[in-house]
Amino acid sequence: MYAIVEIAGQQFKVEKNQEIYVHRLDGNEGSKVEFDSVLLIDNGGKVTVGAPKIDGAKVDAKIISHVKGEKVLVFKKKRRKGYQKLNGHRQSFTKIQIENISGK
């Protein structure tokens, strides 16, 4: 059984007990979160597609940890002008574990 769910503006294909990294969510480590923006559920070949969402369907998850991604270096340069700029960025992520998928 799997579902396609929208989490923090992105769509993920999730299954039970799967761990995924999503954009930073509000909440403490160990707390439960619930996503009700379920777009599709496949239950052993029986596919339910929402228009655009499935009413009454939800995905329960648990926040495992808040982490930062790898550093991305952004380098800008204008040739022959002496202009150079180096910036670094680390994206904040939340690691969640899918606990339950329920729906029609």
| Domain residue limits, the chain | 2-65+95-102
DSSP-derived secondary structure letter, 27: S
Determine contact, residues 3/98, Cβ cutoff 8 Å.
no
Enter the pTM of the model.
Answer: 0.84
69 exposure class (CB count in 10 Å sphere: 0-12, 13-18, 19+) = exposed
Q: What is the predicted pLDDT for the residue at 12?
A: 97
Q: For the segment 36-92, what is each residue's pLDDT rounded down to a tens digit? A: 999 999 998 899 999 999 999 999 999 999 999 999 999 999 999 999 999 999 999
Q: What is the predicted pLDDT for the residue at 104?
A: 65
